[in-house]
Amino acid sequence: MSDRRAPHPLLLACPDCDLLQRLPQVAAGTTVYCARCHTPLWRCNTDSPNRTLALALAAGILLLIANTVPMLGLSVAGRETFTTVIGGVLAMWHEGRQVVAMLVLFTAVLAPALEIACLLTVAVAVRRSLAPPWVGMLLRSYELIREWSMIEIMLLGVLVALIKIAELATVIPGLALFVLGTLVFLLAAMAAVFDPRDAWARVAWTASAPNELGAQRLPEAMP
Amino acid sequence: MSAAPASAMSLGLAGCEVCGLVSRPPAGAAMARCPRCGERLHCRRPASIERCWALVIAALILYVPANLLPVLTTSTPLGGVSDTIMQGVIELWSPSSWPLAIVVFVASITIPLGKLIALAYLLITVRRGSVRSMEQRVRLYRMVKFIGRWSMLDVFVDTFVVALVQLKPLMWVEPGPGVIFFAGVVVVTMIAVNNFDPRLIWDLPQQEKQDHA
């Protein structure tokens, strides 16, 4: 592929304990753990870019639907109100809690959208033999944004809100609620199938530094 | 497994925190960058302990108003009732919905406090150069990192209760000032965990002094 690939593609330092080790040859579907602290280091996935692309596309479509159709309705004394995720954000904003509104907007809408968009672009870009360095920027954004994408937590929050309100009025679950439920599983599958190690190996380097790593005998990570 | 375990740092190497590439930072250079992704390269996160302590203390301060101030105010023509997080949990406690009350209690009260205690414990043991139960401590770190985000639960509950119960003049719900502080606790503790460098747990005391920058 390229002469600028990692000189030791199987070498890695554990992110949690810094133990230097090399990756063993394992069958697809195997997860490799750090030999010292047992942190999961890498999952060997087959056909990662294609599967990521498929799941990211599906997740993107569902996220679009989830944010356009009603999520929850309330019926009391002949009056009905409906809300969407954005509706919740707007309600918080109008009630004078702008900071909280922005946090909800970010964690429930923007971060999932960015997470999906990043992986969608990366999955397309790494099909070329050597992806340009901006793909690396997207990969980096993906890692940063992931923990702020909280669809599953929001869904549980909606469920609790639903039960709190059910004592006062009739609650009508909307289509978006079921779409979001599906999206939680799709996002989890997308993250599981995506192989950042493989994607990074296909990205062009920003600097062509020789990496003289020496020839130490290294422990092997455990499958 | 025949070779002696060695950290990348002790061999003069650094694993990039963004792309995972192991490379040798040029000797004597003030700032090295990862040759693959261009990220700043350091053996350990700079000022990890100090930053993490600062954020833990900030979160602890925010934790007090987050629990004392009301998060929701329910109003009817007859008057209004303000609920703090704990009162919300008690209200949710009924024969049918008590499991959810436990979930909210754990996510809103136990997790934030547990996270602060766990981080303080990790910071103190790292500063002391403790060599005991390293594996359990790194497991604690991973747990804190994994479950910390679930504290956002109450922020979402409040948001959607406020969005739905807008039936003026029959009944309406307004968010209280507590929700801002509570959201602050969640965000600050998440950033605090991100600033903690778990690799410090494994550094032996004499090694730590060698290259701390």
Domains and CATH numbers, chain B: 1-43 (no CATH), 45-205 (1.20.140)
Tokens of residue A211, six digits: 């990496």
User: Considering only CB atoms, which chain A residues are within 8 Å of B154?
Assistant: 157
Print the domain residue range for A10. 1-45+195-205+219-223
Q: What percent of chain B is modeled with pLDDT above 70?
A: 92
Q: Could you report the per-residue pLDDT of A105-136, keeping only the tens digit for each?
A: 999 999 999 999 999 999 999 887 788 888 88
What residue in A sits closest to B173 (Cα-Cα)? A95
- Residue A212 confidence (pLDDT) above 50: no
A16 neighbors A37 (Cβ within 8 angstroms): yes
Interface contact A213-B2, CB threshold 8 A: no
pLDDT tens figures, A36-79: 888 888 888 888 889 999 999 999 999 999 999 999 888 877 77
Asked if the structure places residue A210 within a domain, the reply is no
**How far is B196 from chain A, CA to nearest CA, in Å?**
10
- Clarify whether residues A35 and A61 are in a common domain: no
Give the chain B residue nearest A77 (alpha carbons).
B170
A211 domain residue, yes or no: no
Residues A16 and A100 in one domain: no
Residue with the larger pLDDT of the pair B181 and B20: B181
Residue A213 lies in a domain: no
B 113-152 residues inside an 8 A Cβ radius of A: 134-135, 138-139, 141-142, 149-150, 152
**Minimal Cβ distance to B157: which of A72, A103, A160:** A160
What percent of chain B has pLDDT above 90?
Answer: 48
pTM (2 decimals)? 0.87
Min Cα separation B207/chain A (Å): 13
Q: Answer yes or no: are the C-beta atoms of A4 and B185 closer than 8 Å.
A: no
Rounded percentage of chain A residues whose pLDDT exceeds 70: 90
Structure tokens at A218: 């290294």
pLDDT in tens, B117-158: 999 999 999 988 888 888 899 999 999 999 889 999 999 999
With beta carbons less than 8 A apart as the criterion, state whether A83 and A70 touch.
yes
Helix (H, G, I), strand (E, B) or coil at B96: coil
Most confident of the following: A3-17, B58-72, B78-92: B58-72
> Considering its fold, how many domains does chain A have in total?
2
Q: What is the DSSP string of chain A?
A: --TTS-SSTTEEE-TTT-BEEEPPP--TT-EEE-TTT--EEEE--SSHHHHHHHHHHHHHHHHHHHTTS--EEEEETTEEEEE-HHHHHHHHHHTT-HHHHHHHHIIIIIHHHHHHHHHHHHHHHTTSSSB-THHHHHHHHHHHHHTT--HHHHHHHHHHHHHHHHTTSEEEE-HHHHHHHHHHHHHHHHHHH--HHHHHHTBPPSS------------B-B-
B-chain residues near A32 (CB < 8 A): none
**What is d(CA B105, CA B96) in angstroms, rounded to the nearest whole number?**
16
Residue A198 Cα distances to A44, A125, B23, angstroms? 9, 13, 18
Query: Residues A33, A107: one domain?
Result: no
| Domain contains A212 | no
- Using CA atoms in the order A8, A13, A14, A19, what is the torsion angle rounded to 10 degrees? 120
Give pLDDT, residue A9: 64
Question: Residue for token digits 């005998």?
Answer: A217
Task: Give me the pLDDT at residue A83, please.
Answer: 87
Q: What is the ipTM of this complex?
A: 0.86
Q: Are residues A15 and A54 in the same domain?
A: no
**CA A117 distance to own-chain centroid:** 10
Q: Do B159 and A100 touch (CB under 8 A)?
A: yes
Is A14 contained in some domain?
yes
- Beta carbons of B156 and A20 less than 8 Å apart: no
| Inter-residue contact A121 to A136 (CB < 8 Å) | no
Contact B160/A161, CB-based, under 8 Å? yes
Within-domain flag for A178? yes
